[in-house]
Amino acid sequence: MAPSKLKIAFQGVRGAYSHQACIEVYPDAEALPFNTFEGAIAAVNEGSADLAMLPVENSTYGRVADIHHLLPESGLHIIGEHFVRVHINLMGIPGAKLENMTSAMSHTVLLGQCRGFLRDQKLRPVTGADTAGSAEIIAANGDPLQGALASELAAEIYGLDVLARHIEDLDNNTTRFLVMSPEKALAPQSDKELITTFVFRVRNLPAALYKAMGGFATNGVNMVKLESYMVDGSFTATQFYADVVGHPDDPALSRALEELEFFTSKIEILGVYEADISRG
């Protein structure tokens, strides 16, 4: 019997940048769309999908809303990361002409990333639920005066013509995705650069965070991300999300994590995985 095809869940509709991330990392897998992050996570926990591809931050707009709350509570583990260069493309129904177009639909975030192009082309921005969903709507409407802003993958899926490519204002717009698995699979120590991701809560002590971070500085551990967010709807309950370079069994990181324990009420390692080559 042939082995079953790997299934990977993502939030959005077919043609979304999350779908593109799935294809780039697992080209032979079946990508399954879900309306919400919670739906994609539940699919993995329930066994209808093997993995989930979740966006966590964008180089222009920062972290993805709510995702840091979901990761620790998901029951899933990070086994990899992937960076997608977000290219924005204007597309329309077959036969549509750029010079005749009057409006462009997309997610509000994407509309904000190509203001210069929209202004120069005198295109009215129209807010859609998401990027690929906007392409789907434009294809269904069949109006040559309406365009969509999305990935080239979306144009291919919904039968649209790409009228202008790579129209984003910034030439380094990138989204970072995490590959989530139901199985805890920490990458082994190696010569490759590894990322350890963890969350923690500091004790209610004066200068607790400052002291907690001291162990990473004195041990020469490179902390590449540290973000805080409230938990349980309380202004005093703060959880921190951190990415550091190294493996928990590396002597320097091991000492830093041990020192961190003195000043925290909770530490949870979410994953240890190879750094994406795009980090360089």
For the chain, the 3-state helix, strand and coil shares in percent, each to the nearest 5, are 30, 35, 35
Nearest CA to 175 among 8, 24, 13? Answer: 24
3-state secondary structure of 222: coil
pLDDT band at 235 (very low <50, low <70, confident <90, very high): low
pLDDT at 236 over 80: no
Which of these is catalytic: 10, 34, 37, 175? 175
Q: How far apart are CA 30 and CA 4, in angstroms?
A: 10
Cα-based distances in Å from 9 to 90, 102, 136: 26, 35, 20
pLDDT at 231 over 80: no
| Residues 128-169: tens digit of each pLDDT | 989 999 999 999 999 999 999 999 999 999 999 999 999 999
pLDDT at 280 over 70: no
pTM of the model: 0.91
The two counts, helices (H) then strands (E), for the chain are: 9, 15
pLDDT at 234 over 90: no
Q: What are the tokens at 138?
A: 């434009």
How does 176-214 read in b/e, with b if 16+ C-beta sit within 10 Å?
A: bbbbbbbeeebbeeeeeebbbbbbbbbeeeeebbebbbe
How does 4-16 read in b/e, with b if 16+ C-beta sit within 10 Å?
A: eeebbbbbbbbbb
Q: Where are the alpha helices (DSSP H) in 29-130?
A: 37-46, 67-73, 108-112, 115-120
Which of these is catalytic: 37, 177, 216, 240? 177
Nearest CA to 256 among 247, 265, 229, 272? Answer: 247
pLDDT band at 212 (very low <50, low <70, confident <90, very high): confident
Catalytic status, residue 177: yes
Q: Are 57 and 27 spatial neighbours (Cβ–Cβ below 8 Å)?
A: no
| Residues 162-207: tens digit of each pLDDT | 999 999 998 888 999 999 999 999 999 999 999 999 999 888 778 8
Catalytic status, residue 196: no
Give the list of residues 6+ apart from residue 37 with CB closer than 8 angstroms, or none.
11, 54, 66, 67, 70
Q: What are the tokens at 23?
A: 């294809």
What integer pLDDT is reported at residue 219 of this predicted model? 96
Domains and CATH numbers, the chain: 7-85+173-181 (3.40.190.10), 89-164 (3.40.190.10), 194-279 (3.30.70.260)
